Amino acid sequence: MLNAIGRICLALARHLKSGGVIVNEHVLDREQTRRHVDVLSRCFDFIHLNDLPRQLYRRGKKPFCLLTFDDGKRSNATAVAPELERLGVPAVFFVVSGSLDDQAPLWFDRHRALQKKLGATPNGLSLQVLKQLPYALLIERIERACSQYGIDANPRDADVGLMSWEQVRRLHRRGFSIGAHGHTHTILTRESKTAAFESIARSIAKVSEEIGEACGSFAFPNGNYTAELAQHAIRCGAKMVMTTEPTWVDQRFPLWRLPRLQIFGDNSPGRIRLKAAVAAAGRILKNPDGTGRLYRAINRIARRDPTRNPIEKDVRSLVAEAEAEARTEAEVNVGLD
Ligand SMILES: [Zn+2]
């Protein structure tokens, strides 16, 4: 059923849309990598990051798909990249520079380990609460819980442990793109402007230093961004900046605010097709950064007057507008992640 609906929606989307989709993945095993490539290749042509600006303006035989992988887990280098290479599919790997330096598991993997062992979320440690906190406070809570229960994430698991810089350099030499994903996996909108600017600048500089050429892309950890932070990334050398707004992308999007659609390893072919089709509508899926469908109003305002900066100037009115829209519109709830 999902398959049939997905196919029909996607066929419709392809008639209506130029542009394509930027897919946001995290960890996949080899079989999942093959499956995702197989499903997506039926509807999309895979492109390299460097071709993205040009592709936004082109209407090809098929829409394009750019694959991106966040967080720099070791399995990206040992499982995903070899499969992609064999299949001739380009991709971008966004790495957390400071975490690659110290090889400590990312905070959400430690949180997952706690939850798995305890079978419940300890007090004050729900993801919703943690994601509201500045990084120092968030880490303090996780540290305390890990030592209290004697539990931690296992960095020997290739889906938890991070790539070495040598693995990053090898991926780059083999033609994959390497982007920056913060110095730590901080939700940058919870930090002071100085700290957020610093995390963006350090991560872009470190990736550039390690790969021996300018790092041209940045992806916001957890997707949370402001226009000011995105434009700082551009000032630091990124030419393309990615969010998690779950829509297709075309020339109407500025390069400092490129939307991405999240797909997970266990998503079935039908679900992937349906997600891709629904994302073409540009208004149904929720942004996994916690801001719901606020992106719809941002896009509307940005398109009405491209000289305005809706994210910074109009947040309050946007929220009201989005809420009003949600009340008056019959929402299609497709139950997607
Ligand atoms: Zn991430």
Instruction: Return the pLDDT at 9.
Output: 59
How many A from CA of 222 to the centre of ligand 1? 5
Look-up of token digits 């007090």: 123
Q: How confident is the model at residue 331 (pLDDT cuts 50, 70, 90)?
A: very low
Higher pLDDT, 188 or 6: 188
Mean pLDDT of 132-150: 95
How many A from CA of 92 to the centre of ligand 1? 13
| Angle at 326 (CA atoms; ends 254, 320), nearest 5 degrees | 70
Rounded Cα distance between 181 and 204, Å, is 8
Rounded Cα distance between 321 and 110, Å, is 37
If one counts every other C-beta atom within 10 angstroms of the C-beta of residue 58, the result is: 15
Ion ligand 1: residues, CB < 5 A: 70-71, 221
How many A from CA of 311 to the centre of ligand 1? 21
Is 70 exceeded by the pLDDT of residue 91?
yes
Every domain of the chain and the residues it spans: 2-104+155-328
Rounded Cα distance between 175 and 44, Å, is 20
How many A from CA of 300 to the centre of ligand 1? 27
How many A from CA of 68 to the centre of ligand 1? 11
Note the Cα 174 to chain centre separation in Å: 22
How many A from CA of 181 to the centre of ligand 1? 7
Q: How confident is the model at residue 329 (pLDDT cuts 50, 70, 90)?
A: very low
Instruction: Return the pLDDT at 334.
Output: 41
- Per cent of the chain over pLDDT 90 is 71
**Closest listed residue to residue 314, CA positions, set 335, 292, 289, 294:** 294
Which of 53-57, 76-80, 83-87, 298-302 shows the lowest mean pLDDT across its residues? 298-302
Instruction: Look over the chain and give the mean of its residue pLDDT values, rounded to a whole number.
Output: 88
How many A from CA of 185 to the centre of ligand 1? 6
How many A from CA of 287 to the centre of ligand 1? 14
If one counts every other C-beta atom within 10 angstroms of the C-beta of residue 119, the result is: 6
**pLDDT tens digits for 228-255?**
999 999 999 999 999 999 999 998 899 9
How many A from CA of 66 to the centre of ligand 1? 17
How many A from CA of 245 to the centre of ligand 1? 14
Q: How confident is the model at residue 77 (pLDDT cuts 50, 70, 90)?
A: very high
Buried b (16+ CB within 10 A) or exposed e, 168-183: beebbeeebbbbbbbb
Is 90 exceeded by the pLDDT of residue 7?
no
Rounded Cα distance between 285 and 305, Å, is 24
Inter-residue contact 72 to 93 (CB < 8 Å)? yes
How many A from CA of 16 to the centre of ligand 1? 31
Is 50 exceeded by the pLDDT of residue 173?
yes
Regarding pTM above 0.75, the answer is: yes
User: What CATH number does domain 2-104+155-328 carry, 1.10.287.1060, 2.60.40.10, 3.20.20.370, 3.40.50.970?
Assistant: 3.20.20.370
Reduced DSSP (H G I as helix, E B as strand, rest coil) percent helix, strand, coil of the chain, to 5 = 50, 10, 40
Instruction: Return the pLDDT at 299.
Output: 84
Instruction: Return the pLDDT at 314.
Output: 43
Higher pLDDT, 232 or 301: 232
Most confident of 83-92, 113-122, 285-294, 325-334: 83-92
Q: How confident is the model at residue 30 (pLDDT cuts 50, 70, 90)?
A: very high
How many A from CA of 221 to the centre of ligand 1? 5
Mean pLDDT of 78-101: 98
Is 90 exceeded by the pLDDT of residue 226?
yes
Mean pLDDT of 208-233: 96
Look-up of token digits 């500045």: 134
Instruction: Return the pLDDT at 271.
Output: 93
Indicate the length of the chain as a whole number.
337
Higher pLDDT, 329 or 195: 195
Instruction: Return the pLDDT at 335.
Output: 42
Mean pLDDT of 249-272: 94
How many A from CA of 79 to the centre of ligand 1? 18
Instruction: Return the pLDDT at 313.
Output: 46
Mean pLDDT of 295-320: 64
168 Cβ contact partners less than 8 Å away, ≥ 6 residues apart: 72, 77, 93, 95, 100, 178, 207, 210, 211
